[in-house]
Chains A and B, each alone.
Chain A
């Protein structure tokens, strides 16, 4: 296949993927996760006051939250050139779709085979978990993942000065963007370790670069999260997520869930290639693929021992397996060419492609539709936008943790809890109390809890109704806990106080 032909096909693929992504993104006027609205608040704050909300007056009724705001500054800058609503939908999808270009160049560099690189780019674009998680969300992942693999591309060519400089720049960018860059850096350290095990002489530049990267990342994160580290110690790895919720973010990796989220083609070829690389191949061939294998090992280890959030871990793993599967398909193809069925290689490729459509493209479309269906409804948003008129500015609202960011963004009101638990000391207690308010039949207990957090309102969203299987709070009356709004959502006002505990 000629270079020009490949590039045309690649451009077409990029256009198709972007169009498909935008189709889903604009299927709803809102983002599909509450976390996006957390980012949106910071972006808007930067546009208004130059700074993000390091002191957030609404989250947990007012709290200090230290994080790296590079992502928010980038989006504040990019969305200042047009309608933020359009741009916050388009830009993350452009970033996310650009991954296929990077994967193409990365696989081409590793395999020296353009059709296989193109196939890998196609697989990467339709990795179910990656597509679903980035299609209708304002998430740093949409930027982090492409930059991670662009960095890897530069790392492969670190011996050239220009690439070394670009790698340093991308490294700084990645570190500032997201702590998940540690997965990549530990993965590269594992790569050095693998080289040592297999007695492969490592390049001096690579060793130096990995050493520097680790020092820089540690230094930056220790400095940035110093207070959180002192507060939570090693538990910072689990973001201080209370035990009641930990299973929602960190859960076991299983083969079935991997097939669902990654797709059978990358998983199968990826695993075969790992086996082949570790036990069968020659030193020269190993060299090229070892960095990817190293990062795959570290990601799998972290997923296995629940050291990384499941979604993030599986996202990285899926893309890594796509690259490995590209290499794997090349080996498979070369093997076929040595056998008597070499004439059937095109048919075999056709079968593989069909399998890919069945196991990746179709689930991607199905999951995306499902995700869009779960987006916050217009009625909910409409109600929340009226909150400032129905409540006082100082009022605190007790709601589901998942609804926290929605209330903060649309309603501009303080909440008892949202999903950012770092540097909050009584997360367990808060979660228990929220659950009690929704479950209890006792007005006194509910009022006591509301008093504890100085909360005046209880917000019952459709998610809360589903989760606790309730329509109304059983203890509502017109005296202490009064229903002030009813519709798709409900709002209760508490007017009493209880003395004693």
Chain B
């Protein structure tokens, strides 16, 4: 792609573009925390965030954990910088507030850095502003920065790394720090950072720095491979599910907007025509596409800057082209912009009302107030992190319990427990793990664990004498177990 050197003197137009961009960024990214704060008591969306807050809290209580304190199954703790960050932030503002605010804050930082990066590849302030807005309204970006997960940190680290790498002063060395953060996460990210560097270095003549950084990443990957279990898993999704995952409008969590993709493809054709696409860009696209298709859709975050640049070129190409049916030109552009904005707003509204709901939280808070400190809870693995964090009690097992050596036995027992309709079998299994409470979330009865109201353990709970329904609302039923 073509390159535009940073203009030393900041023009009035550039200033305006920058200010507008900053204003939109803050406005858009503050919608979700404000909405959650007002309607959900500030409880953040998602599941993993509750693991991070629990472990972050343990950090700052100076209880550096060996195992997860919220889970009975012993899961050895692997350090995650995000736990530290959320803990530090939580120590200052409160954990719930930190978990709610941190994704938006990191999102704004990432956006600013991405704006600076894409500006270097685009000719004028209008292009900069539009490219920035394309990033901001991209469903992938909004999905990553709505929920406090590892991906939030990874995206920020990658952008920061790329930004510092592009700097011409000695600050470029800071990129080692940010790219180094990737070693704490699935190593595919560190692996994908190499073609990214290759692409940036070709465009900005920084081949030597890219080579050093790539060596650093390769060394880090090799060392990490010896230190932790990394699985090279490859899945082959069906064409239909791949298409579904690729577009957020079809329900893909990390999918793109149909219209954004459309503009990007237009931009790509234009750039090919103009011979502005280098082999390194094509190579990076192919590698990333492979990861998105066969490993996980989360790797579509690597397409963010490329897509916004291509979409910007696509849009301006349409705008500057002379149309024979002039009125259709304006309508087409208007529809495209509306389409991009609708996809973005749809993601925001979907995420703002995502689980956990107020009813789920109020049920768990009730249990926190009405149970003894060492109580053990049985619930679906999906809700384990949320339950352990909000109730401050231990759950039997969660998503990460697979590392526990007893995991196979544990899951067999839990599966038997969920399926059995025999009261004595259920009681024996519950007694084996000293379970005090069983929390049934409505989703568990809709296919997550059971398919109907009276299946397996649900039948036992309704008919057994050892069980008492202690709490019930529209979303949650809490059963107490008496021995």
Contacts and interface: CB of A to CB of B under 8 A. Distances in A.
Contacts of B339: 215, 218-219, 222
Interface in B248-279: 249-251, 258-259, 262
A168 B328 contact: yes
B452 interface: yes
Contacts, number: 69
Per DSSP, chain A at the interface is helix
Nearest to A211: B332
B342 interface: yes
Contacts of B325: 164, 205, 208-209, 212
Interface stretch (A128-136, A223-231, A290-298): A223-231
A500 B456 CA distance: 10
B175 to A, nearest CB: 38
B250 A501 contact: no
Given A208-B328, A211-B332, A229-B251, A223 B243 contact: no
A429 B452 CA distance: 11
B240 A234 contact: yes
A223 B346 CA distance: 10
Contact of B324 (A208, A215, A219, A235): A208
Given A229-B249, A230-B251, A233-B250, A501 B328 contact: no
Interface string B230-244: 000000000011011
A212 B332 contact: yes
Interface in B421-438: none
Given A222-B258, A229-B249, A501-B454, A234 B328 contact: no
A3 interface: no
Nearest to A161: B325
B346 A226 contact: yes
B206 to A, nearest CB: 39
A208 B350 contact: no
Contacts of B249: 222, 226, 229
A232 B14 CA distance: 44
Contacts of A234: 240-241, 243-244, 250
Contacts of B280: none
Interface in B325-366: 325, 328-329, 331-332, 335-336, 338-339, 342, 346, 350
Nearest to B321: A208
B315 to A, nearest CB: 13
Interface in A224-273: 226, 229-231, 233-235
A340 interface: no
Contacts of B251: 229-231, 233
Contacts of A229: 249-251
A196 B194 CA distance: 38
Nearest to A232: B251
A208 B329 contact: yes
Contacts of B240: 233-235
Q: How large is the interface on A (under 10, 10 to 19, 20 to 34, 35 or more residues)?
A: 20 to 34
Contacts of B323: 204, 208
B328 A230 contact: no
B467 interface: no
A373 interface: no
B459 interface: yes
A278 interface: no
A155 to B, nearest CB: 12
A431 to B, nearest CB: 15
A398 B51 CA distance: 46
A50 interface: no
Nearest to B242: A234
Interface string B437-459: 00000000000000111110001
A216 interface: yes
Contact of B459 (A215, A235, A501): A501
A218 B342 contact: no
A209 B328 contact: yes
Given A230-B350, A233-B244, A234-B243, A215 B455 contact: no
Contact of A205 (B241, B324, B331, B455): B324
A233 B463 CA distance: 39
A168 B335 CA distance: 15
18 contacts: A164-B325, A208-B323, A208-B329, A212-B331, A215-B339, A216-B331, A219-B338, A219-B339, A222-B249, A222-B342, A226-B249, A233-B241, A233-B250, A234-B250, A235-B240, A501-B452, A501-B454, A501-B459
Interface of A: 164, 168, 204-205, 208-209, 211-212, 215-216, 218-219, 222-223, 226, 229-231, 233-235, 429, 452, 499-501
For the complex of A and B, the 5 pairs showing the least CB-CB separation, nearest first, are A501-B454, A233-B244, A212-B328, A233-B251, A230-B251
Given A218-B259, A223-B342, A230-B250, 14 more contacts: A208-B325, A212-B332, A215-B262, A215-B335, A215-B336, A218-B258, A218-B339, A219-B259, A226-B346, A229-B251, A233-B244, A235-B240, A500-B459, A501-B459
